[in-house]
A and B are shown apart, each in its own frame.
Chain A
């Protein structure tokens, strides 16, 4: 199982899409490709923009389909962060 702690990388307000891109390319996609389960740890992150979450996870849907959600857990999300993740995962599945 691979755990990615976001707070040290993005701070309390996750909005930097360049960091999201780097994480996606260097950590998330290789982990799923390698058959690992993924924990994205939002501990301490108060908010996340839709753009950030999209840049972080949308490509996983394109590459692996919506079943990728079976391999990812989102840890310690605030309600605000949960709502943004739910929005992105919903529209990505609608787009499939």
Chain B
């Protein structure tokens, strides 16, 4: 595997980063970078950490990872998470600079503890903290319940002062969205599986409306809706396909049960990502009322279920 960090890699340019991932030699990981200052979204850090977690440290090569941002990567815990010696000489600082270093979560209680400890690090106002907590909880539980990976989920987040934005990344190398969805629904390719996973009420756990006692098939739809309402980017990458939620057109909030009706980009034929990776940007200037988003989510969700029930194909009796 080969990962290259360019000078800049954000959600808006995610395709460029992803297309450069090298998938040959899956038992090795070579990390390279642009030689000057390097700024990358936490999504790409956690993807790198997640890959590295499955590879022996002796097979990880960072000799070509030479850039002016090594201290920053050190503080974000990249080398620690990869299990390699850090080329940075700086002290690992307390994460009080409004970022959450790469953190590996493997179980439910670990996630709850992480969420409790994480919020103060970002120094957010109450409403903003609750929103971030909500998103990270739902994303983390998705991995723990659906990814089926012993390596768990990798989280990181960072505050960017210039844009007043929190950028969040979470990645795993589990079974991926398609393998999860096809347990209960037909999905011939990753794009179809991603579309279904973002549709309210669709879960790999069952094909029954209302879900199971533990899963509603709502988590990703809620996350996408909150991002849309706040006019935030969201990237979902699994298999060879990436869905990118783009900013909504106009000021009116219109949620759609079908993610393809949202302003989006779906890109296929990317290097295959075994698992799921999600990146989100939360612009703190425009955080809208959680309550009003919930009203729209409730109505859209219930309408989607009613629509599916109206269109349900009933089995026909066989007369012989």
A interface residues (Cβ-Cβ under 8 A, vs B)? 11, 13, 15-18, 21, 24, 46-47, 49-51, 54-55, 58-59, 61-62, 79-80, 83-84, 86-88, 90-96
Contacts and interface: CB of A to CB of B under 8 A. Distances in A.
Interface in B75-106: none
Q: What is the interface of chain A mostly: helix, strand, loop, or mixed?
A: helix
Contacts of B277: none
Interface of B: 108-109, 111-112, 115-116, 130, 133-134, 137-138, 141, 145, 200-201, 208-211, 213-216, 218-219, 222, 290-291, 294-295, 297-298, 301-302, 305-306, 309
Contact of A91 (B290, B291, B294, B298): B298
A62 B291 contact: no
Contact of B291 (A11, A80, A90, A93): A80
Given A90-B298, A91-B302, A94-B302, A24 B291 contact: no
A11 B116 CA distance: 9
Given A54-B218, A91-B305, A92-B210, A15 B201 contact: no
A91 B201 CA distance: 9
A18 B290 CA distance: 24
Given A51-B219, A54-B216, A90-B298, A17 B108 contact: yes
9 contacts: A15-B115, A17-B214, A50-B138, A51-B137, A54-B218, A80-B291, A83-B290, A86-B298, A87-B297
Contacts of A49: 134, 137-138
A48 B180 CA distance: 25
A18 B109 CA distance: 9
B214 A55 contact: yes
B267 to A, nearest CB: 28
B214 A21 contact: yes
B109 to A, nearest CB: 8
A83 B294 contact: yes
A58 B213 contact: yes
B130 A95 contact: no
Nearest to A95: B210
Contact of B298 (A59, A79, A83): A83
Contacts of A21: 213-214
Contact of B222 (A24, A46, A50): A50
A64 to B, nearest CB: 13
Nearest to B306: A94
A55 B213 contact: yes
A80 B290 contact: yes
B122 to A, nearest CB: 14
A51 B218 contact: yes
Contacts of A96: 210
Given A87-B294, A87-B301, A58 B211 contact: yes
A49 B115 CA distance: 13
A17 B116 contact: no
A11 B141 CA distance: 17
A59 B297 CA distance: 21
Contacts of B306: 94
